[in-house]
Amino acid sequence: MAQLRDVAKEAGVSMAVASRVLNGDETVRVTSETKARVLKAAQALAYQPNHRARALRLSRTGAIAMVVPSASNMIFADIYAGVRDVCVGRGLSIFLCQIQRPAVPERQLVDLVGAGQVDAVLLQRSDLFDDDQLAALVSVGIPVLLVNSSLPGHQGSLALDDAAAVAMAVEHLRGLGHQRLALIGGLATHDAAARRRVAFDDLVHGDPSVVEEAGWEATDGSVAMRRLLSSPVRPTGVITASANAALGALHAAQEAGLRVPDDISIVAIHDTWVCAFTTPGITCVAMPLTQLGRTAATLLLDCLDGATLPNSTLTDPPPRLVVRGSTAPPSA
């Protein structure tokens, strides 16, 4: 593999010149002829700058880590798409690092970033972290942006507009005439889940309503729905805090012999392609996940260029209601 030295020799210039030309350094003036010679030499030798040497010299690896609780959650894929958009544009690569439980993985992240393998981290919190564990994770010397999660005292987070999403779901159900609403929410430890719950409580204040605390997965949604169905005042409209949970909830309702949406309506927060392929399709409040990824990555990269990480909320574009077959006016 050709090195800079070879290119320089081939072009009959010093390594310094070759380096500057190849890096498009504008501040240095070179004969357009020498420049051409260098470029041609590089081309001829198929020169690829050695990434490792560059990283050492510049103290930059050109990679960021994306830490997620679960790579199989489709939320991840959508966020990744956004992150990828901006990283590809800026020539960065992305490490994927799945961290679900704290104990060992805490070391993982420190090993990873402490070792200087990545320049910055984009972290999506797992339900299983409590604040202290998260704090340990983010206390590494490089920028860490919390995606759709926050940590008291930590600088750098980007949240979704959970309240708006919940409001949209509640409004949709109320508009159809539903009076008794339920929320199948996330675990209280997860702050996006907490925000959604607070929003829900505020909106249904006074009405008969019930909240189930559940995980993000389909089984969690099933279990919660079964509990809901056996409650004294059965809700007619159910909001789930994740698309996965909605699948579980739909399944449990159908298994219990209910017809959806005739007997019970279901609306999910988050939209994934699967929601369009169930029978009935699941009505969703789609959140701008890809944009979340894009904004998050941009924030992080700007930070590497000297900007400060903000604690902010992504409100534009707003959540979007996607009406499918799982919601209808209550039958009674």
> Is residue 254 at the binding interface for DNA, with CB under 7 A as the rule?
no
Residue from 24, 26, 46, 57 touching DNA (CB under 7 A): that is 57
Task: Say if residue 2 is exposed, middle or buried (CB neighbours under 10 Å; 0-12, 13-18, 19+).
Answer: middle
Which residue, 19 or 108, has its beta carbon nearer to DNA?
A: 19
Rounded-to-integer distance, Cα 188 and Cα 17, Å: 59
> Is residue 43 at the binding interface for DNA, with CB under 7 A as the rule?
no
Q: Which residues contact 150 (CB under 8 A, 6 or more apart)?
A: 157, 159, 191, 311
User: Site residues (CB under 8 A) for its own copies?
Assistant: 1, 48-53, 55-56, 59, 61-63, 66, 70-72, 74, 76-78, 80-81, 84, 88, 91, 93-98, 108, 110-112, 114-117, 141, 218, 222, 247-248, 250-251, 254-255, 273-274, 276-279
17 is in the binding site of which of DNA, its own copies, none (Cβ under 5 to 8 A by kind)?
DNA
Tokens of 259: 């017809």
Residue from 49, 62, 102, 280 touching DNA (CB under 7 A): that is 49
Tokens of 139: 């206390």
Rounded-to-integer distance, Cα 96 and Cα 109, Å: 11
> Is residue 50 at the binding interface for DNA, with CB under 7 A as the rule?
yes
62 is in the binding site of which of its own copies, DNA, none (Cβ under 5 to 8 A by kind)?
its own copies
Which residue, 233 or 256, has its beta carbon nearer to its own copies?
A: 256
- Least Å distance between CB 65 and DNA? 20
Q: Which stretch binds DNA (CB under 7 A): 57-65, 131-139, 242-250, 310-318?
A: 57-65
> Is residue 175 at the binding interface for DNA, with CB under 7 A as the rule?
no
What is the DSSP-derived secondary structure letter of residue 329? Answer: -
Which residue, 84 or 196, has its beta carbon nearer to its own copies?
A: 84
DSSP conformation letters of 2-54: --HHHHHHHHTS-HHHHHHHHTT-TTS---HHHHHHHHHHHHHHT----HHHH
> Is residue 306 at the binding interface for DNA, with CB under 7 A as the rule?
no
Residue from 36, 58, 88, 233 touching DNA (CB under 7 A): that is 58
Which residue, 47 or 200, has its beta carbon nearer to its own copies?
A: 47
Q: Which of 32, 39, 31 is nearest to 11 (CA)?
A: 39
Which residue, 56 or 88, has its beta carbon nearer to DNA?
A: 56
The two beta strands, 320-322 and 311-314, are unpaired
Instruction: List, edge to edge, every strand of the sheet that includes 209-213.
Output: 209-213, 181-185, 237-240, 265-269, 283-286, 320-322
Side-chain half-sphere CA neighbours of 284 within 13 A: 22
> Is residue 15 at the binding interface for DNA, with CB under 7 A as the rule?
yes
